[in-house]
Chain A
């Protein structure tokens, strides 16, 4: 499979990365090279093979339902580019 300019732009939109037309054009062959290279996997017969679920055998541990965190608003907001009245602030969202 290959991507064209429109697809590259769509991927960039999905990924929320602004690209200029020139950057998008440059990305077309770059991404296609990589995609064609990874498509080697089509040679592998994976009929009936279960996708890997856990890298190393391990079990889910369920946490106790106890309040052990929170109440750290200053720490949460400390790195915010914009924070006001205890909130993070972002450019106005119109719904």
Chain B
């Protein structure tokens, strides 16, 4: 099989072909390593680890010859740089962690590697996962492999914060990758580049070894070409971890084996409040199309209300910065990462200069906001208030579940925008996550599935949100959309 054909395969395709003996794991790994090497123009990878991928491939080939290859044998993947990887630099896209080499492996990557996967490299991302366009990375923007159909070559955002992850899958540099989602950072980039991204229930994937942004929101999840691949990867990534106090002690279901696009007896809720003023007609149309597809799959479509939807973003932009301001206090130049010591300065100056030099503007902005909303006299007005509204948002979902099993919404309010287009206006940028943030606040599982192209030929995604722990419901509805959307578009290679 030629290299280009191998890199077009899905995770399931590689896994099954490898088991059948269609090709060796080594061939697959080499094909992807070459693809990664040929895609520097996208700036998707911060660190390449071909040795890791090839070693895992060789181990897979040996395991196959011995007859018992673990589930992800032969599958090379990309790892978002938010995951600590033992012996491999981990920066979270920030200068302040430049040169940091973790002496430990995150629980999620450890599980993936134990399942036989190899690592192609560490993927670029918004700094500390703060951003929706991958423009806050200290190591340069990631370019989307997609271009508008207008003939102009305006570089587009792959979305964020898992921008490198999204670009890598879309450009066929990796069949599957890890992402993390705090307010939409798996789903929005997946939608922007025409791939599938799944954020599981809060607590499904261990947060141990993932550089923290906002602890009560951060969740790891897979991004891949299709729903099945996400199910496969999530099975490998999930599971109870006693090292994470918020980890769920619940069995990991066989999502892939149970997968079905038959939605008879399912009710799909359409939240009225997600129909925003000024929503592009194309998005509106796609959403209608999604309803029709799910009805076709046997589901009953019901109207529901999530009354506090419009308050989700402001709630998020209090809670996430507050937690971040505290989580990022450990970057002080004492134990790892960047240290800037001004000539005559003492410890306090070292802190201030190190953090000034190490953090990017968006990170500083959020630390400042977070510091302010927690400070004396403001805690009740901002932070406590936001946690109260968050409780109301969670309650909205609880009430919706009395009427439906899953919710269908658009993933993002627009297709991918051009780099630089929104970076001057933080709030315009924040609005990108309007449809993804509410379910993050409530810790619910949600998937984005590519569903069509806009007038410029850019991908658009639909989102399915489910009850806590009902990843299966989300996967099944996502599959029903996927089967009917027949989304096969991929970016023309220009890099």
| A contact set with B: CB distance below 8 Å | 1, 3, 7-8, 11-19, 27, 30-31, 33-35, 37-44, 46, 49-52, 55-58, 60-61, 63, 72, 75-76, 78-82, 88, 90-94
The one of B314, B371, B385 in contact with A37, judged by C-beta atoms closer than 8 angstroms, is B314
Residues of B within 8 A of A80 (CB): 334-336
Complex: how many Å from CA A42 to CA B345?
Answer: 43
| Known A51-B391, A55-B443, A80-B335: A16·B351 in contact at CB below 8 Å | yes
Q: Is the CB of A90 within 8 A of B347?
A: yes
Q: Is the CB of A18 within 8 A of B356?
A: yes
| Known A81-B339, A88-B335: A41·B386 in contact at CB below 8 Å | yes
List 17 interface pairs A-B (beta carbons < 8 Å), by A numbering.
A11-B368, A11-B371, A11-B375, A16-B352, A35-B369, A37-B314, A38-B382, A40-B311, A44-B311, A44-B385, A46-B385, A46-B392, A55-B216, A55-B246, A56-B202, A75-B103, A75-B104
Q: Is the CB of B391 within 8 A of A41?
A: no
The one of A19, A39, A92 in contact with B346, judged by C-beta atoms closer than 8 angstroms, is A92
Q: Is the CB of B248 within 8 A of A58?
A: yes
Nearest chain B CB to A60 CB, angstrom units:
7
Residues of B within 8 A of A63 (CB): 242
Q: Is the CB of A49 within 8 A of B391?
A: yes
Interface residue? B264 (CB, 8 A)? no
Complex: how many Å from CA A93 to CA B469?
Answer: 49
Complex: how many Å from CA A61 to CA B104?
Answer: 23
Interface residues on B, range: 35 or more
Complex: how many Å from CA A7 to CA B373?
Answer: 12
Residues of A within 8 A of B345 (CB): 91
Interface residue? B401 (CB, 8 A)? no
Nearest chain A CB to B464 CB, angstrom units:
18
Residues of A within 8 A of B308 (CB): 44
Q: Is the CB of A33 within 8 A of B391?
A: no
Which chain A residue lies CB-closest to B392? A49
Interface residue? B226 (CB, 8 A)? no
Residues of B within 8 A of A56 (CB): 201-203, 248, 443, 468-469
Interface residue? B260 (CB, 8 A)? no
Which chain A residue lies CB-closest to B426? A34
Interface residue? B348 (CB, 8 A)? yes
Which chain A residue lies CB-closest to B444? A56
| B contact set with A: CB distance below 8 Å | 99-101, 103-104, 201-203, 216-217, 242, 245-246, 248-249, 308, 310-311, 314-315, 317-318, 325, 329, 332-339, 341, 345-353, 355-356, 359, 364-365, 367-369, 371-372, 375, 378, 381-382, 384-392, 394, 426-427, 442-443, 468-469
Complex: how many Å from CA A91 to CA B369?
Answer: 29
Residues of B within 8 A of A72 (CB): 103
Q: Is the CB of B359 within 8 A of A17?
A: yes
The one of B341, B375, B388 in contact with A49, judged by C-beta atoms closer than 8 angstroms, is B388
Q: Is the CB of B384 within 8 A of A91?
A: no
Q: Is the CB of B367 within 8 A of A15?
A: yes
Q: Is the CB of B375 within 8 A of A61?
A: no
Residues of A within 8 A of B334 (CB): 80-81, 88, 90
Complex: how many Å from CA A82 to CA B364?
Answer: 25
Residues of A within 8 A of B443 (CB): 55-56
The one of A3, A19, A79 in contact with B372, judged by C-beta atoms closer than 8 angstroms, is A3
Q: Is the CB of B333 within 8 A of A81?
A: yes
Residues of A within 8 A of B355 (CB): 15-18
Q: Is the CB of A79 within 8 A of B336?
A: yes
Q: Is the CB of A55 within 8 A of B353?
A: no
Q: Is the CB of A37 within 8 A of B427?
A: yes
Nearest chain B CB to A75 CB, angstrom units:
4
Q: Is the CB of B371 within 8 A of A15?
A: yes
**Which has the most chain B C-beta neighbours within 10 Å: A49, A93, A94?**
A49
Complex: how many Å from CA A79 to CA B353?
Answer: 19
